[in-house]
Amino acid sequence: MQIRDAKIEDAEAACLVMSRSIAELCVADHKNDAAILARWLGNKTPEIFIACIRQPENSLLVATEDDNILAVGSVTDAGQITLNYVSPDARFRGISRALLRALETRAVERGVKRCTLTSTETALRFYQANGYAADGPPVGNFGTSSGYPMSKSLTQE
């Protein structure tokens, strides 16, 4: 498994991984509600993915194996982790953990001292196990009521 910066030619496969991750793994969040799914999946398009690659203040990373994309993550230069989606075919193999480490490493390289994110219900235990703590009351995300603001100091590692 390799983690690298995303390329434009990754866009279609990466969007498929993100869409499957949301639809198949995040059922506790969207509860198969068609309107929530439509909003959540609506911005996971190749055009938006390519626009994200071109934003200099954004790092878009992919985890790959044998040229297949297994996970997609992104972090801004302000330390906000905005994407972290693993393929349902690659769940619980340590890939999200490795991708999260890579996002945090990139943030540190950009001078960030604290990473922030809004966890899904699905990933809450994962982020807690990786050092993130609650950072405010739950918020709505794409129409769900299960977005959990969390943060982690990067200065103690």
Judged by the rule CB under 6 A, the positions of this chain that interact with ligand COA are 21, 25-26, 84-86, 91-97, 117, 119-120, 122-123, 125-126, 129
CB of 113 to ligand COA, least distance (A): 21
Strand 139-141 relative to strand 68-76, pairing: unpaired
CA separation for the pair 78, 63 (Å, rounded): 22
Structure tokens at 31: 């509860």
- DSSP codes of every residue in 1-39: -EEEE--GGGHHHHHHHHHHIIIII-HHHHTT-HHHHHH
The residue sitting closest to ligand COA, measured at its beta carbon, is: 96
**Smallest separation (angstroms) from ligand COA to the CB of 82:** 9
Least distance between ligand COA and beta carbon 44 (Å): 12
Q: Within 10 Å of residue 45's Cβ, how many Cβ atoms? A: 15
Q: How far is the CB of 38 from ligand COA (least distance, A)?
A: 17
Name which of 39 and 97 has its Cβ closer to ligand COA. 97
Is 88:26 a contact under the CB 8 Å cutoff? no
CB 122, CB 114: distance < 8 Å: no
Query: In the complex, what is the shortest distance from the CB of residue 56 to ligand COA, in angstroms, rounded to a whole number?
Result: 23
Task: Please say whether the beta carbons of 82 and 47 come within 8 A.
Answer: no
Given the complex with ligand COA, which of 99 and 112 has the nearer CB atom?
99
